[in-house]
Structure 1
């Protein structure tokens, strides 16, 4: 959502589609105004206006989308452009994304449009904010330099040990009569400024003993040879391993003639000293009535008020509080000389003279960067938890849709087989459902709605299936090379999470490569016989399947290599990484009893190596065909499912397989049916139900019929159900109808053998 009305330009020739898009955007709570165009002339006129977003169809008469995109990009490089079309394939969409399109939404999936708009507008806003921040930083640097160059007193900085001058301002040059090129890189002794050889050594000794010098008289020699009377202040600055002396010079030759001139000079020196030499504190200079003449940049950082907002104003509340001697404290972000950014907490308090008058302000600083980083990590974890909950809800609804598809495909398959009709197309539908199920499983694992499901599979087969999708994660300049082991490598792991590990490592490798490069994915069998594996993994015994992902990128510096698996640690730019990818890989590998290491090969790049224990090949089990699905004998099955389409598919599947079925749309309705009927042989219950949930419904049914077997349809883990006191069969959606019928028959026969 946005806090203002979005101006959206829609390039669409179909008025109905335009209304659907408008209704979809407004239905998600966006405040937006829409303007529809359908030809190039309208586009030219429209681009003279300001827009927040462009939604464009691909096939608009007399308009080529690629040319339209290029025209918009030339005029407004950062304007988000989202393609909303029903005729663009995946590969074509990927190509358009590379040309600058922000995102792609299929017209059959318009609910995805709202999050796409939110993300695109947010990214554009963040990019604009970064540009503004960079402009502000450049302006700040110019202000600091201008203050130094145009200070009304001479300011110089020199090395403490050698006396070599590294910088002086214009006033310093005017006072002593030199040109800038004559001074920088030379010492004051070489320039002949000191009257004798002990002046500088006395100044340095006093600084080392007392820390600073304030408004002390000093007589020096100009380039012309004439003497000049000065008041100087100095202090030692330590920057890295080198110590410098910063000093200010004020020509007081004429002011020394009279005490009045001297008093005026001392007041000027006091203001300049506070403004320049104590710059770490907030400085406000006002007249005797409290009207602001000057504020330094640190004041703006502390209060949020710029110099333009304060000069000429009389901030009664702020000025009154400071004059009363009240303490100010707060946090703000600062930048060190080396460019690193940190957060500090300041307490600014006044310093009084013996008469009780405020003369200066003292700032006590504390580095709170780590504390703020921990707070940010907590906010990030909370955001990830919210995303996880959303992902779990989406996966649940999607699995229900998949259950309806697979149920109806099964019923049609049975009908086709009875009529001798080919079922090839239906088999493809079932395969697609299985693929969709594997995708939603990743969402469920991410949202912690599903536990890791360990299965026995060949790692080489998994990589072969994942290669096509992995190639879509990289650019054409990066080649993915697969070098599988000659023998099968059977492991006990979660298929979906192993794919996720491979894709995450490929994505990281892609980000590490600039220009042309390669990513090599290799598998082999390794043995650990009493010593650690040569790859660096800490396994000491056993046989392992080794998976390595190697890239030709810039590598990982040795100083941060030990931190890459830490949560929230990332070297990517802001917005390009959460710092969770490698830590999640590390945790997943450990859950599968494996090991992971990283090192830099001699010829450059980075190589991640994962070792997972090998297992014996799975036993061959005959595949159950649809013709071999056991049929029922008229047993009555209670189906409890709140989704009508899912409930209908399940009941029709049971009836077609020789069972009788009675359906309930809620747990309460199921309990009412159970009280009236004693002939229920088995209950098939969805865990997520309105009102009382599926687990509570199962408990209620067992209370009415203690021997009634219950099968749960769910996306949750078995351990979660067991923790609720439910010891029952669990099937995870979407479940193939043949497998469902087989499980029902197995449960009923087991009950019969137990005399139930």
Structure 2
């Protein structure tokens, strides 16, 4: 059955069984030589030789088959061993097969021996072929692995579906700057190699349609973030049941950079020339000695000097630092050809030749006047915020002082009236307090601390009150003159904002006047429809109050007159204006449904004209003095005030008006009094108290006495009250004693009507 002679080792203790086995094998046509052994010593000796097959019995004296099988397998792992026995059951045979036995033949059925030998020999042959193939494959793999690892081009293999990299070589890692452990098991997308996910999708699509890609230009991102120019070759390979993409990368970054640089040199120079000439920033190039070789058009626009006027000139700017080869940048104020000042930001850097020697300098100049103006605006806003906070604190303390004065003046006035004595001097004190309160409110308006509060007022009266503070805004050489109409001009507006308009206009006029001059503030009544209003008002009917502020300054040129109300536009020098004053005035006038215009009088200077609709004032409420003294009926009022002088003046005022008063210097003390006292009709509470504040005190009182009416007193401005949630039932210090008593009476009457 085979052309080769088999060398068969037979392990059998029975000579008869050996002969039967030999006869059976030879009878099946096998050419073989047989060696018969029956003890352990012969086994060890025989295993030194080479065998094609082992036929062994199970029960041999002094030999355990399992040990014999293990000994043979340790020496010849692939040698087929067939058990020929008459005493082994199927279960035991199966167990022996698991241990490495090739097959089992029962001695009663030796006809199976030949097929078993044929199959065992075939399997051994196949095993040996497989082992040789594996060795050859391993050798080939080592060879190709060496070629893979040491290839001069980058080679990588990744799953086609997911892009997960399973292997890359050293050149691939060197090209893209990664380490092996950072790459394997991750995708190129995760590593950030592709400039976009569309790159990989395009490559995969190309491979599916064309099968392969050969030396296609590809740009990838290195680990460092640098972009590498590569030539990419790729194909799809089928390994088992998975499709992979194998790709080769050749780094041509340096070559492409050189090629692009050479190919684009003329185009780059052309684009550079165009870019420099069209640059929104000024560009100046000088030689190594500082003589100007080139300026672009933006430089001429910014400075007013043409290229012909500048080329060949030497400004000698920052020369010591620049000669060291350092880049300089900074801001400085410069002068245009027409003499106007502007701020510029410069970056001056050296231009070197291939030897590293400085041959020229290039300056990039940017006009930052607007930016500086915005920065100045921010600083101004911060200053005003600080002034506002200071004004609020000063107003609180000042108003407390004036509350003491007006309270005591009222009490003395009442006492003098009872005695029939003159109250003229006391009345003057009260009027002075009212004037002081007006100055405090003006200070708050000037620092932008008062919220919008619509009230009815006479414009003429407001201008008259504002004159004194406005005169503080100008120098002694500038006179403030008033030309007010004889009839009242009633407006429904925020008096503080109107004052702010006047103050801003006066400030602008001061900056426009050099030396001696005047600012004239005039008012008059105008009717729409009879003739066009001087402020450009398009209204055809209605009565308006006209306010004009005229100065004797240098005036506003006609070419910029249409822009003066634009935000951040200013004609003042750098650092002397924010460009917001007139814009704010414009917005304020519009909020009052008014109109504003600017014109140049024939005698010179500037005149701003504002027209605001007149509003008939409401019917005047009767003054408390006209009704007689307002007195209480003994109602108990709780006064909560931390300033002792203010607290004393308030309690004595209430007692003089017919009320009973109990006083507390803090919120905690007030709550303690409220727990002991019954019949408290109302609480008069200062907003700012040590410990718990006025709001918390009010809440505590209402918990003890539900629906207890409360009037808050404060010396702070409306913004600070709004931040604390107080918008109603607030009286601002200093308040006239008659008005305070009147307000208390009104609140108590409302409570009585509501059944309180």
Task: Output the TM-score relative to the length of structure 2.
Answer: 0.54
Distance 2:483 2:404 in 1: 40
1:560 counterpart SS class:
helix
Shift in CA distance, 384/482, structure 1 to aligned 2, threshold 3 Å: closer
Alignment of 1:708-727 (within 5 A): 708-715=708-715
Query: What does residue 343 of structure 2 align with?
Result: 342
CA shift for structure 1 position 611? 1.2
CA shift for structure 1 position 616? 1.1
Deviations 1:377-433 (A, max 9, x none): 222211221111111111111111110100111111121122221111101000000
Query: What does residue 66 of structure 2 align with?
Result: none
Deviations 1:96-153 (A, max 9, x none): xxxxxxxxxxxxxxxxxxxxxxxxxxxxxxxxxxxxxxxxxxxxxxxxxxxxxxxxxx
Distance 1:696 1:236 in 2: 72
Alignment of 1:394-413 (within 5 A): 394-413=394-413
Distance 2:477 2:370 in 1: 40
CA shift for structure 1 position 727? 6.5
1:344–1:369 Cα contact (<8 Å) kept: no
2:373–2:568 Cα contact (<8 Å) kept: no
Query: What does residue 661 of structure 2 align with?
Result: 661
Task: Report the structure number with the largest CA radius of gyration.
Answer: 2
CA shift for structure 1 position 682? 0.8
Shift in CA distance, 752/638, structure 1 to aligned 2, threshold 3 Å: same
Q: Which segment drifts farther, 526-535 or 668-677?
A: 526-535
Distance 1:540 1:522 in 2: 23
Is 1:333 aligned with 2:332?
yes
Query: What does residue 387 of structure 1 align with?
Result: 387
Is 1:729 aligned with 2:749?
no
Shift in CA distance, 439/575, structure 1 to aligned 2, threshold 3 Å: farther
Query: What does residue 624 of structure 2 align with?
Result: 624
2:553 counterpart SS class:
coil
Shift in CA distance, 385/482, structure 1 to aligned 2, threshold 3 Å: closer
Shift in CA distance, 512/346, structure 1 to aligned 2, threshold 3 Å: closer
Aligned positions, number = 466
Distance 1:502 1:618 in 2: 25
CA shift for structure 1 position 539? 5.0
Q: Which segment drifts farther, 683-692 or 403-412?
A: 683-692
1:638–1:663 Cα contact (<8 Å) kept: yes
Distance 1:608 1:715 in 2: 35
2:308 counterpart SS class:
strand
Q: Which segment drifts farther, 653-662 or 739-748?
A: 653-662
CA shift for structure 1 position 642? 1.7
2:542 counterpart SS class:
strand
Structure 1 unmatched runs, 5+: 1-207, 216-232, 249-275, 280-295, 304-317
CA shift for structure 1 position 470? 6.1
Alignment of 1:407-486 (within 5 A): 407-464=407-464, 482-486=482-486
2:373 counterpart SS class:
helix
Shift in CA distance, 646/357, structure 1 to aligned 2, threshold 3 Å: same
Query: What does residue 597 of structure 2 align with?
Result: 597
2:318 counterpart SS class:
helix
Distance 2:292 2:577 in 1: 46
1:634 counterpart SS class:
coil
Deviations 1:185-205 (A, max 9, x none): xxxxxxxxxxxxxxxxxxxxx
Distance 2:373 2:599 in 1: 28
1:629–1:741 Cα contact (<8 Å) kept: no
CA shift for structure 1 position 715? 4.4
Distance 2:476 2:705 in 1: 63
Alignment of 1:183-262 (within 5 A): 235=293, 240=304, 242-244=306-308
2:714–2:730 Cα contact (<8 Å) kept: yes
Query: What does residue 612 of structure 1 align with?
Result: 612
CA shift for structure 1 position 359? 5.3
Query: What does residue 646 of structure 1 align with?
Result: 646
CA shift for structure 1 position 299? 4.0
Shift in CA distance, 582/691, structure 1 to aligned 2, threshold 3 Å: farther
Is 1:351 aligned with 2:352?
yes
1:491 counterpart SS class:
strand
Alignment of 1:666-677 (within 5 A): 666-677=666-677
Query: What does residue 298 of structure 1 align with?
Result: 318
2:642 counterpart SS class:
coil
1:631–1:657 Cα contact (<8 Å) kept: yes
Distance 1:213 1:507 in 2: 44
CA shift for structure 1 position 729? 1.2
RMSD of equivalent CA atoms:
4.1
Distance 2:305 2:468 in 1: 54
1:351–1:359 Cα contact (<8 Å) kept: yes
Distance 1:442 1:731 in 2: 18
1:682 counterpart SS class:
strand
Shift in CA distance, 463/631, structure 1 to aligned 2, threshold 3 Å: same
Deviations 1:33-77 (A, max 9, x none): xxxxxxxxxxxxxxxxxxxxxxxxxxxxxxxxxxxxxxxxxxxxx
1:297 counterpart SS class:
coil
CA shift for structure 1 position 481? 5.5
Alignment of 1:575-594 (within 5 A): 581-594=581-594
Distance 2:699 2:530 in 1: 51
1:640–1:686 Cα contact (<8 Å) kept: yes
Task: Output the TM-score relative to the length of structure 1.
Answer: 0.54
CA shift for structure 1 position 371? 3.2
Shift in CA distance, 467/247, structure 1 to aligned 2, threshold 3 Å: closer
CA shift for structure 1 position 501? 3.6
2:397–2:715 Cα contact (<8 Å) kept: no
Query: What does residue 205 of structure 1 align with?
Result: none
Distance 2:342 2:613 in 1: 45
Is 1:557 aligned with 2:579?
no
Distance 1:732 1:214 in 2: 68
Q: Which segment drifts farther, 496-505 or 699-708?
A: 496-505
Deviations 1:196-231 (A, max 9, x none): xxxxxxxxxxxx99999999xxxxxxxxxxxxxxxx
1:597–1:610 Cα contact (<8 Å) kept: yes
Distance 1:344 1:555 in 2: 31
CA shift for structure 1 position 713? 0.9
CA shift for structure 1 position 628? 2.2
1:629–1:742 Cα contact (<8 Å) kept: no
CA shift for structure 1 position 637? 1.3
Query: What does residue 41 of structure 1 align with?
Result: none
CA shift for structure 1 position 459? 2.6
1:527–1:541 Cα contact (<8 Å) kept: yes
Query: What does residue 283 of structure 1 align with?
Result: none
Is 1:679 aligned with 2:679?
yes
CA shift for structure 1 position 483? 4.0
